[in-house]
A = this chain, B = another copy of it.
């Protein structure tokens, strides 16, 4: 089983429970950090000391309590940690309910497992640790189903860029210039109009406002 584990999580209660659970699994070297920056520092130090962690368990969202941090979320923490220790196993433990977000973690950050804070998380966590230790990925079955269900429409980076601009208060006729700056391909006002119309068509929406609400709900923007 894993020997040295670092937990990055801003809920103190959860940290206490997590450390206790890890101890029950005979993982003696387990530590926690309440801030992403602290977690990254610990990782760096562990490498310097020649006693690297072999698993990082991290939450996704960290509440901003005023202390300025250079990293403020789990995804960025994972990216940063991978720069120093690319081979470290990563388990995300979060209450993020959006399959799209979780899917992106597996695709883009190559995380090794995801456990949803929920009615079975104590069991799931233990199962995840075993599965990951064996070098496999841990994706809860229940989740995989809903990934398929909800991924009716795929937003491209291009789509997201446009929608973010609109949600930020831009006029449509300001967007072509913005897209050129970003080196994104169809830049004409006409193309933007067409793409927007198509997205709304496919989702069954009539108005931009509806689309913004939808994207906010699904955390696409």
Give me the interface of A with B, judged by CB distance under 8 Å: 10-14, 16-18, 21, 34, 63, 65, 95, 97, 116-123, 125, 142, 166-171, 205-210, 212-213, 216-217, 221
Beyond the given A63-B95, A65-B142, A171-B207, please list 6 additional residue pairs across the A-B interface where CB-CB is below 8 A: A65-B118, A167-B212, A169-B206, A171-B206, A208-B208, A216-B216
Give A116 to B17 CA distance when docked, in angstroms. Answer: 17
A124: nearest chain-B partner, CB-CB: B12
A35: nearest chain-B partner, CB-CB: B119
- Assess whether A209 is in contact with B167, with CB atoms less than 8 Å apart: yes
- Assess whether B11 is in contact with A118, with CB atoms less than 8 Å apart: yes
Give A216 to B97 CA distance when docked, in angstroms. Answer: 16
A63 partner residues in chain B, CB cutoff 8 A: 95, 97, 116, 118-119
A205 partner residues in chain B, CB cutoff 8 A: 169
A117 partner residues in chain B, CB cutoff 8 A: 11, 13-14
Q: Can you list 26 A-B contacts (CB < 8 A)?
A: A10-B118, A10-B119, A11-B95, A11-B121, A12-B118, A12-B122, A13-B121, A14-B17, A16-B122, A34-B119, A63-B95, A63-B118, A63-B119, A65-B119, A95-B95, A166-B209, A167-B209, A167-B212, A167-B213, A168-B213, A169-B205, A169-B206, A169-B210, A171-B207, A212-B216, A213-B216
What is the oligomeric copy number? 2
Partner of A210, one of B34, B123, B168, B210: B168
Give A205 to B118 CA distance when docked, in angstroms. Answer: 38
- Assess whether A213 is in contact with B207, with CB atoms less than 8 Å apart: no
Give A207 to B167 CA distance when docked, in angstroms. Answer: 8
Give A11 to B207 CA distance when docked, in angstroms. Answer: 37
A123: nearest chain-B partner, CB-CB: B12
A208: nearest chain-B partner, CB-CB: B209
- Assess whether B12 is in contact with A121, with CB atoms less than 8 Å apart: yes
- Assess whether A169 is in contact with B209, with CB atoms less than 8 Å apart: yes
Closest 3 CB pairs of A and B: A216-B216, A169-B210, A17-B17
A120: nearest chain-B partner, CB-CB: B12
A14 partner residues in chain B, CB cutoff 8 A: 13-14, 17, 117
